[in-house]
Each structure stands twice: as structure tokens, then as C-alpha cells.
Structure 1
Amino acid sequence: MSRLVVVSNRIADPRKTAAGGLAVALGQALEASGGMWFGWSGRIVEDGTPGQGEVTQQQAGAVQLVTLDLSREDHDSYYLNYSSGVLWPVLHYRLDLADFDSGGIAGYRRVNQLFAQKLKALLRPDDIVWVHDYHLIPLAAELRAMGCEQRIGFFLHVPLPPPLILAALPEHDWLMRSLFAYDLVGFQSQADVTHFERYASDELQAQWVGQHGWRAFGKTLQVQAFPIGIDVDEFQALAEGKDARDMLTQLRSDYARRRLLVGVERMDYSKGLPQRLKAFRTLLQNYPENQGSATLIQIASPSRESVDAYAALRAELESLSGAINGEHGELDWMPLRYIHRNVARKRLPALYRAAAVALVTPLRDGMNLVAKEYVAAQDPDDPGVLVLSRFAGAAEQMKEALLVNPYDTARTAETIQRALQMPLAERQQRHQALLARLRAQDVHWWRERFLRALQATQETEKEP
């Protein structure tokens, strides 16, 4: 059995209960093969030399965890300036927020070369390498340049925009060409695959060779959609834990006379949070029966608070929250509970189950697992309703949700009202269909389907 090697910007110990569903899913495959997980340690060496870093190894059961320190210069250019300051906004269709003059691309290349150099020394000839996300797009090209011939796959967890948006990236052709060093590239949605295919055809003159294959630069690349799921049983087990049960009891007591709506995400401009709060305000204005009744609990966890765009977003949300509560609140009822801090994952199932409606309305998202967790947490006898942005990757799978355009405030408010008034039989029917698909296409299905496709790729032809 070939050893699985997972490479990502950050790693997690899959044995720890705080590890997310992705870490647990990858951990199972790593454990089975005695695999290795390689990534940045999270440590920044203030006086470190760019292009160098210390490697640390530790065992987590049968899994080898290998981490690499970064110098301050490497971290800031690779992670802050280019990955976060250029790639993240462009991949989420926000050219207006990309700092194209940051100069981070040199550091991005340098750190990918450093990852490749340190990883190469640890690889075995028959390893299968699975690289994750936008931080490490050129990693396979760097490994190939160093003579590595292992089978290498890549999965992009965020959206891939249309060719004209991608073309705004300086050196976009270099970045996208580097994907052809992989044997398999996976995206979250079929829309992302379509965008890649158009770019490959129009910008790289790649040739479609049937099924999922594209050929360019003397190499055939397989490209498919692999929509990521959640571990339904694991998340439902969280709902049975003491923390979740205690919180559910408290929520039902505190909000016994209210209809709860919930939103949970990181503080990020891709999540459509101002548009969501405006839609909720429109709901209260256009449907006054919700006055004194509907309460939105909005969790917006801190994220990248040193970045100007995030600070501006936080200020906007705090202003909107105050305005909504000031306009509509009463002595015994505040319509909006805005919380800017993290909520423990073990308590989230209770918050989801207590909510009659979940608002998952990003302006653009790769998948959005909150939508899936909300469905998994529901009482099948009396389930809540998911209001989901059509611009989330999850919308391709979750057609039974109420799909909305988050830019259309009035229609979104109308859809929220429909969700609040939906008859029980319709809620049950929609939930049953959604949950069945979540179980059929869970995170384990995603992992196994990707690895099977990677193992099935033909031996790659290397450029002369």
C-alpha cells in the first residue's frame, strides 16, 4: 500500500477532539497508510533567513506530523501579502480588494520552493502526495523541477473565478500553467471546473482529450469536481454531548417566545454579512409580524483583523447592528444578537437545532460547510429551513434549500419570510432529501473518491 502524504499550509493532529472534520477525514487515510502530514508550523522566526526554515517531526499514532518554520519575511510575503492579499480576494471575485503591488509573489514562489526542498528529502518513490489549497498551487511544479515523479494531486478549497478575473492576476499564466504539474486537480463545484476548462482552452491552448483530461506542455491533467462534505455521524454525536444539550436547553428557555434565525461564519468580506443584516432589517420592515418575534443570532468570528478590509467590515457590521437594534428593538426584545468572537464547535449543534432558519448567504464561497452542519443538526420531526446563497458551492448539491441572490435584499427578505412560514410537511420533505444527500456524499466519500481518481491517473509524461 502506498503511503499518503498530505501537504497543506497548516496541519492538525487528527487525534485531538478540537480537530475539524477535514483533519479527521484526512487522518483516517493517513493512519491507514502510516502517512505523513507536512505544513507550516505556525511559528515565525523574526530574524530567520528567507528561503530557509527548521523542520520538526513528531508522531501522532501512526501518522508523522512534519512542520516547517518560516522567517518573518517569508511569512509576510507568502502568506499575508500574496496568499491573503492577492489570491484570496481574486479567487473570491474581489479584484477591488487585491493588493497587486504588494510584491508578495517572489516570496510566494520562494516558500513553495522551500516546501518542495524540505518535502523532497522525506518522500519515498511510491508515495501518493495530496496538496491542498491556494497557498501551494505551484508546489508540484517545484517538486517536478527537483526530479520528483510521485503521483501528485491538488484540491482547491476556495472558488475558481472565470478566466477574465483570473487574467487580472499578475503572472496568471505562470500560476495556472503550474497546475499541469499535477496528475489530478480537484475543485469544489462543476462551475469551478468549467472556469478552469475555459481558461485552459483560451489562455493556455490546452486540448481536451476526453473524459476529464486536458493536455498541454507535454502533460495530461485530469480535472474533476469533488464537492467536500462533513462527517454527519460525528457532527450529530456532538449534538448529544453535554455542552450541546445544556446550551440547547438554555437557548430554548431564553428564547421561548421567539423564532430564532442563525448565521455562523468567520469575519470575511466573502461571506455577505452586511447584505445579510440589511436583508434581516428589510424583513422586519416589510413583514411587521416579525417585530418582537424574530431574533437573528449572528456569529462573526475574528479573522485577519490587522488587514484594513477586515477592520472596515467589522466597523460596518457594528454600525448596522446598532442601527437595526435602535430602529426595531424594544425593552424586552433585541432583534439582532451580533457576536464577534469564536463559539466552541461542540456548542454549535445546539445553536443550529434551536434555529428555525439558518442564513448562509455568502457573496462567493468554495463550498460552505455551515450549510451542511445546519442540516445535520436538525430534529427530523421538526426541522428548520436553510436559506442558502446560490453563490455558495454547496448550492449545486443542496437544491432543496431556499436559494437566494444575497445582492437582492428585498427578495432575500421575502425568502426568509417564506422560510419562517413554511409548513411542517414541506420542511420535513426538504430536510429528508438534504440529509440523505449529505450522508451519501459525506467527507469520507469525498476523500475516497479523490484518492481513487488520483490512483487511477495514468503515469504522467514529464517535460523534456
Structure 2
Amino acid sequence: MSRLIIVSNRVAPISEGLPAAGGLAVGVYDALKETGGMWFGWSGDILTSGQPQIKLEEHGPVTFATIGLLRRDYDQYYRGFSNATLWPAFHYRADLVQYDRHDFEGYCRVNTWLAQQLVPLLRDDDVIWVHDYHLIPFAQALRAAGVKNRIGFFLHIPFPASQVLLAVPPHRELVQALCSFDLLGFQTKPDLRAFCDYIVNEASGAVAHQPDGLTRIEAFGQTLFAGDYPIGVYPDEVAELAKAGERGKAVRTLKETLHGRKVIMSVDRLDYSKGLVERFRAFERLLDHHSTARNNVSFVQIAPPTRADLHAYQDIRLRLESESGRINGRFAELDWTPILYIHRQYERAVLAALFRASHVGYVTPLRDGMNLVAKEYVSAQDPENPGVLVLSRFAGAAQELTGALIVNPLDIDGMADALATALAMPLAEREARYRDMMGQLRENNVSVWRDRFMRDLTQMVARRGVALPFAKTAHGEAQGQQG
């Protein structure tokens, strides 16, 4: 059996017998244990001098291969192009894009260097699965080094519409690099459509939708395939975590603090893509328009720090602290604080228990690839008394979780109305919505996501250079001829 090689920017810490950091880590690690293989990526260490060396650690059939980055490489590859250019652009925030040609050169250089570190560790029949926007040029670098293995790529964040991607100066180089993979995976069909639109209209390529659900693509002299693979969670595992923590200290403290008031719960990394300011203002609008919510509802926002060395993230933290202080100043009473804004990290089991204790899950990003918090919130609910999910239409999860109250995060009044509806929703409707969403979550859990991608990737055989039966219309649109 071929080994599986996982490549990601960071290698998730895995401790046997302890809950993993998230569903992705669990799903990927399970696959590695089944097939045997390696997880390769940055260790998180930033070195000021010297030559970084690969550290190999064996855990049963899995090898963890990690390596540090020099400070200049970290600044250009990670802080610079990955997170100051790609992250805002792919989240439709072209206004926040910061581009520096030297950062892009560093991004490509580090991808090439990382690929060169991996090459001596590879075997001829290994299957390589690369993850996320930090590593778009990785397959191109492997191909340049002579690697002929099957290589897949999964993008965990949105893929932007062509007119947004064009704001990134080296957009063509990025898409050309993506075409060096055998299989591209996107979270949703709209993301896949956006990529195909670029291929046809900006790269003069061609696409054809296949009977098996994949899309065949010909561009930049390459033939590859692409599909949508919505990532999931293990809903029953989350439910067990939540149930086990029902009587834990965190839930007891929350209930004692709120004295039986209803709870609206949000958990997000501190990021401008999450729509946090808009969310705070919609809660304020709820208190303005629905006086019965005052002193009867509390909003708990947990926002762990992230990328604290980037100015955009420092700005969003200051704005949230200002907004929560202003709103609490307007409405707070001696025995009630409307917003509990918590800027720290909690264990996954604690969060699951807090989700179960809350009445509304409030997940309203401005743009998100999937958003597993939405799926974990639903999974954590008590089947006999479930809460209600209020979910942004711009989260990938909205494509599946149709039992949620779907909102536009820019519509402050609309979100406030949805919160009021959720708080007043009768039990029978809450139960019906919960059953619908849990059925979807079980049908498409993280193992299904992983296994579908791996099945399609392992079936990629000798397809490079195969001519595709495409024709162009008079308007330059690609038409696939099936059969």
C-alpha cells in the first residue's frame, strides 16, 4: 500500500489518548495511521541564524517531519505574502491586501526550499496531499525537482472570484502553480466555479464536468482535475465531549455568572474575516429593538488571539474592545453585563460543553471557507432541547446546514431579527432543524471528506499530457464533450 504524505504549513501536535486540536487534525492523523506515512511541515520555530534541520519523530506507523524557518523566511513567506496578501484577497478583502514583490519572492523561495527538504524522504509510490494557501507553489517545486508522484491540494479557505483575485499582482503565477497538482479540492461548489471561471476567462484554458463529479481542466499546458470536498467534523464525538462536560467547571461557572439568562455563544479566532464588529452591533440592535432581551440574554464572545504581530489583527482587537465596552456601557445593569468578551483560548472539550449550554450559536463570518465552529455547535446540542444556529450565508457551512437561520452579516437589522427569532423559537421547530442538520453532519463527516479526496487522488493515473476533447464557443467559453 502506498504511503500517504501530508504537507501543511504547521504540523498539528497529536498526543495519543488526548483530544486533538480539531477535526482536520483528527481526520488526517487517522488516515496516516491507517496507511502509514509522514506529516511534513514547519515546526513553528523561528531561527535567527544557522541552517534549519529536519527533525524526524516516529509515532507508530506515522513519521512527523518538522523543520524551523529563518526569521527572514518567516517574515516574507508567512507574515508577508501568505497572511498580508493571500489571506485578505481570498477572503474578499482586497482593501486590506498588502503586496511586496520581495515577499512573493520569499514565498516562492520557501516553498521551493521546503519541497527540496521533502524530496529525499519520498518513495516512488507515495501519495502526497498538500494543504492550504501557504503552499500553492509546492507541487510546481516538486515537479521541478523531478517528482512524479500523485500530488493533491486542498484549499481550506475560499477561492475568490476572478475580479478579486486579479487584485493580487502575481495571480497568474499562482493559478499556474496550482495547475501542477493532479487534483485540486475546494470547500464548496462556488469556490470551484470561481477557479474554473479564472481558468476559462483569464488563463484561456478549458474545463469539462465529468459524470463522476470531478471537473477536468486544461491550462498552462497541464491537465488536472478539481472537485468540491466540504470538510466535516465527527459529530458524535463532539456530542460526547459536550455531554461529558455538561457538569464541568466551565459550564457551572457560566450558569452561575448568568443566573439562568439565555446565552448567545460565538467562538472565533480574532480575525477581520469573521465579522465580529458587525456581530456586536447586531446584538446591540437586538437590545435596541427587543426590550424583552435586556437583562434576559447575554452574548458570550470567545476570540482567541491569532497573528498578533500583524497590524490588521491588532486593529480588530482594539475595535472589539471598544465596541464591547461601548455596548456594555449603554445597557449594563448592576447585575447584568450584556457582552462577555473573552480574549483567550479554551480546550475543545470545554468549548463543546459551552456550546451545549447555550441557546443560540452565532456564526456570522463575512467570508469563510467552511467554518467548523458552526458544525461543532450543532453537534454539541442536547437532542431533547437543542439550540438554534444563526449562520452567515458566506460561510461554506451554509451550503449544507440549511436548518440554520441563514443571514447576511452586513445586514445588521436582519441579524438582530434572526437572533430574536432564534431566542423565541419553539422546541418542536428547534428539534426538527437539529435533526436535519445532524443527519447532514453524519452523512458527510470528516472521514467521508478525507476518503473521497484520497479515493479521487489515488485514481489519478497517467493523465498528464492527455488531450481533452474541448471546444471553444464563439465567445471563448469552454464546453466539455462527455462520453
Q: What TM-score do the two structures reach when normalised by structure 2?
A: 0.93
2 CA distance for matches of 1:244 and 1:348?
Answer: 13
The whole-number CA distance in structure 2 between the counterparts of 1:47 and 1:115 is: 17
Larger mean CA deviation between 338-347 and 85-94 belongs to: 338-347
Q: Quote the Cα distance in structure 1 between the aligned partners of 2:186 and 2:56.
A: 30
Contact kept? 1:6, 1:37, Cα under 8 Å: yes
Q: For residue 208 of structure 1, what is the amino acid of its counterpart?
A: V
Q: How many Å separate the matches in 1 of 2:55 and 2:148?
A: 25
2:27 to 25, 28, 39: 25
Q: Which residue of 2 aligns with 1:39?
A: 41
2:455 to 445, 452, 456: 452
Q: Do the aligned partners of residues 167 and 401 (structure 1) sit closer, same or farther apart at CA in structure 2, a change above 3 Å counting?
A: same
For 2:85 and 2:336, locate their aligned partners in 1 and report how far apart those are by CA, in whole Å: 42
Query: Deviation of residue 257 (structure 1)?
Result: 2.9
Q: 1:364-397: CA deviations, max 9, x gaps?
A: 0010010001000101111000000000010101
Distance across 2 between alignment mates of 1:339 and 1:295: 13
Q: Which residue of structure 2 aligns with residue 398 of structure 1? A: 401
1:306 is displaced (CA, Å) by 1.8
**Aligned-pair distance for 1:234?**
2.2
Compute the displacement of 1:210 (Å): 3.7
User: Of 305, 310, 320, which residue of structure 1 is paired with 2:308?
Assistant: 305
Partner of 2:335: 332
Q: Is the 8 A contact 1:239 1:245 kept in 2?
A: no
- Residues in 2 aligned to 1:310 and 1:402: alpha-carbon distance in whole angstroms: 29
Tell me the alpha carbon deviations over residues 200-221 of structure 1, each in whole angstroms, 9 at most, x when there is no partner. 1111111123411111233221
CA distance in 1, matches of 2:334, 2:262: 17
Identical residues among aligned pairs (%)? 47
AA matched with 1:96: D
**Structure 2: distance between partners of 1:244 and 1:193:** 43
1:195, 1:229 → 2: CA distance?
Answer: 22
- Unpaired stretches in structure 2, ≥5 consecutive residues: 467-483
Choose the corresponding residue for 1:276, options 258, 262, 279: 279
Deviation at 1:346, TM superposition (A): 1.7
Q: Structure 1 CA distance, aligned partners of 2:152 and 2:272?
A: 29
- TM-score normalised by structure 1 residue count: 0.96
Q: CA separation in 1, counterparts of 2:157 and 2:185?
A: 11
* Counterpart secondary structure, 2:124: coil
Q: 2:410 aligns with which of 401, 407, 411?
A: 407
* Cα drift, residue 13 of structure 1: 3.8
One-letter identity of the residue aligned with 1:172: H
Is residue 134 from structure 1 mapped to residue 133 from structure 2 by the alignment? yes
Aligned match of 1:346: 349
Aligned to 1:60: 59
Distance across 2 between alignment mates of 1:341 and 1:414: 29
Q: Secondary structure at the match of 1:266?
A: coil
TM-superposed CA distance for 1:243, in Å, is: 7.9
Q: Deviations over 1:328-355 (max 9, x none)?
A: 1111111110111112222111210111
1:10–1:41 Cα contact (<8 Å) kept = yes
- Mapped pair 1:149 → 2:148: yes
Change (3 A) 1:240 1:422: closer
1:3 match = 3
**1:292 maps onto 2:295 in alignment:** yes
Write the letter of the residue equivalent to 1:347: V
Shift of 1:358: 0.9
Partner of 1:191: 190
- Which residue does 2:169 correspond to in 1? 170
Contact 2:243-2:353 at 8 Å conserved across structures = no
Mean Cα displacement is larger for which, 270-279 or 199-208? 199-208
Which residue of the partner structure matches residue 240 of structure 2? 237
CA pair 159-120 structure 1, distance change in 2 beyond 3 A? same
Q: Please give the alpha-carbon distance, in whole angstroms, between the structure 2 residues aligned to 1:383 and 1:92.
A: 31
How far apart, CA to CA, are the structure 1 residues paired with 2:260 and 2:231? 37
Residue 239 of structure 2 contacts residue 381 of structure 2 at CA under 8 Å; is this kept in 1? Answer: no
The superposition leaves residues 393-428 of structure 1 with CA deviations (integer Å, 9 ceiling, x where unpaired) of 101011110000010101110111011111111000
The alpha-carbon distance between structure 1 residues 42 and 179, as it changes in their structure 2 partners (threshold 3 A), is same
- 1:255 match: 258
Cα deviation, residue 462, structure 1: 5.7
Q: Secondary structure at the match of 1:47?
A: coil
Mapping of 1:369-384 within 5 angstroms?
369-384=372-387
CA apart distance, 1:242: 5.2
